[in-house]
Amino acid sequence: MGLMGALAKPILFGMDAEKAHGLTIKLLKSMPLPACGPDDSALGVDAFGLHFPNPVGMAAGFDKNADVPDALLRLGFGFTEIGTVTPLPQPGNPQPRLFRLVQDEAVINRFGFNSEGHRAVRARLMERKQRAGIVGVNIGANKEATDRTADYVAGIKAFSDLATYFTVNISSPNTPGLRDLQQTAALDDLLARVLEARDEAGHKRPVLLKIAPDLAPSDLDDVVDVARKRGVDGMIVSNTTVSRPDSLRDKVTAMETGGLSGGPLFPLSTRMLALAYQRVENQFPLVGVGGIDSAKSAYDKISAGATLIQLYSSLVFKGPGLVTEIKKGLLARLKAENLKSIAELTGRDVKKWAGN
β-strand partners of 289: 310
Q: How far is CA 258 from the centre of its chain?
A: 17
CATH topology of domain 2-354: TIM Barrel (3.20.20)
DSSP 33-81: PPPPPPPPGGG-EEETTEEESSSEEEPTTSSTTSSSHHHHHHTT-SEEE
d(Cα 245, Cα 248) in Å, to the nearest integer? Answer: 6
Look at residue 276 in the predicted model and tell me its pLDDT. 98
pTM above 0.95, yes or no: yes
DSSP tag of 253: G
Selecting among 115, 160, 172, 269, the annotated active-site residue is: 172
Is position 243 annotated as part of the catalytic site? no
d(Cα 107, Cα 124) in Å, to the nearest integer? Answer: 28
Tens of pLDDT along the chain (356 residues) come to 454 556 578 888 999 999 999 999 999 999 888 888 999 999 999 999 999 999 999 999 999 999 999 999 999 999 999 999 999 999 999 999 999 999 999 999 999 999 999 999 999 999 999 999 999 999 999 999 999 999 999 999 999 999 999 999 999 999 999 999 999 999 999 999 999 999 999 889 999 999 999 999 999 999 999 999 999 999 999 999 999 999 999 999 999 999 999 999 999 999 999 999 999 999 999 999 999 999 999 999 999 999 999 999 999 999 999 999 999 999 999 999 999 999 999 999 999 999 95
Q: Are 65 and 85 in contact (CB under 8 A)?
A: yes
Alpha carbons within 13 A on the beta-carbon side of 324? 11
